Structure 1
Amino acid sequence: MKKILNLTVIITIITAGLLLSGCDKENVSSSDSIKYGTSFGMCAGYCNNEVTVKQSGVQLIRKKNGGPETKTCQKSLTEEQWKQIIDKIDFEKFSKLNAVYGCPDCADGGAEWIEIQRGQTKHKVTFEYHGEPEALKGYIADLRQQMASFEDCK
């Protein structure tokens, strides 16, 4: 009886391990990305900023209002940095969020947005500047920090 009990425990542990490993974030491919941006409609200068975070690195694109002028800066990203960013995001929950929250950039209050692509599926959420939905609070600070890390790209 003791051998059967031990075998049952071992099988349970192995099964649980396999199930939990399957619950890890969906397989993340090199084409997956997280984009984060800010914009201010009634602004002069580089008022539209977009950061793209991929496994291969981070890119900032700054666009000038009223003109085609852009600035682009890039930096590398370690595998560990990518993992820290992507592991915080529950794509299933993110994809269920509304497309718009509040009144982004009304009365030139500014807008922020996050777009996540996982495989062929893409979802974008736009919200009032610094008025992110509660569900984004876990990782919006990281994305803002990624943008701020490009201080030399002004």
Structure 2
Amino acid sequence: MKKFIAMVLVSVFLVACSSNDSINLDNDDYLIFGHFYGFCIGESCIETFKLTNNKLYEDSIDNYASEPFDFEVLNNEKFEQVKDLIDAFPTKLLKEKEAILGCPDCADGGGIFIEYSKNGVVKRWKIDQMKYNVPEYLHAFMDAVNGKIALINK
């Protein structure tokens, strides 16, 4: 009986203390992520991808200003490699008042583009690649985005 009570208390504690600091992709929700470098030559200078709950797309336009997009579906293997990126998304970013964090690509260091759509509400950010110019809570997410882009491009 003591084990049962202990398990119940631990379960209640975990549920009470668990954070709702995660987002997910349902139905028409999506996460667009990419990077851009102004003084760069080659196809990898601007990479933009769209992640939904069941597909991954790549933008074929590669426009430095981010839009317009022309997304083409990638194979399921690529989707499987990056589908967990949404788990790295910091919910604190949703509360940011600024859409530009740091000075993306000002010092030729590049930038990260993020767009998140939930239930038709779209939020966009441009994030400096230089970590010392952006809040620390973004660092792990920046690493995840850059890592997934590198993985897709293998």
Give the TM bin, normalised by the shorter chain. 0.5 to 0.7
- Structure 2 distance, partners of 1:107, 1:151, is 25
| Pairing 1:112-131 to 2, within 5 Å after superposition | 112-128=112-128, 130-131=129-130
Letter in 2 for 1:126: K
Please tell me whether the aligned partners of residues 39 and 111 of structure 1 are also in contact (alpha carbons under 8 angstroms): yes
- Structure 1 distance, partners of 2:103, 2:58, is 25
The Cα of 1:30 is off from its aligned counterpart by 2.4
The Cα of 1:88 is off from its aligned counterpart by 3.4
Q: Percent identity among equivalent residues? A: 22
The Cα of 1:61 is off from its aligned counterpart by 2.5
Match of 2:95 in 1: 96
Letter in 1 for 2:103: C
Match of 1:35 in 2: 32
The Cα of 1:64 is off from its aligned counterpart by 5.6
The Cα of 1:143 is off from its aligned counterpart by 2.0
How well do the aligned residues superpose, as a CA RMSD in angstroms? Answer: 4.0
For these two proteins, the number of residue pairs brought into alignment is 144
| Unaligned segments of structure 1, at least 5 residues | 1-11
Query: In structure 2, the residue corresponding to 1:60 is in which secondary structure?
Result: strand
The Cα of 1:81 is off from its aligned counterpart by 6.3
| Unaligned segments of structure 2, at least 5 residues | 1-8, 65-69
Bigger shift: residues 23-32 or 96-105: 23-32
Match of 2:48 in 1: 50
CA offsets 1:52-75 (integer angstroms, 9 cap, x no match): 121112222254679xxx895613
CA offsets 1:8-39 (integer angstroms, 9 cap, x no match): xxxx9999899889x58566412221111111
- From 135, 139, 142, the equivalent of 1:140 is 142
**TM-score, normalization by structure 2:** 0.63
- Structure 1 distance, partners of 2:30, 2:138, is 16
Query: In structure 2, the residue corresponding to 1:106 is in which secondary structure?
Result: coil
- Structure 2 distance, partners of 1:86, 1:103, is 24
The Cα of 1:100 is off from its aligned counterpart by 1.0
Please tell me whether the aligned partners of residues 47 and 62 of structure 2 are also in contact (alpha carbons under 8 angstroms): no
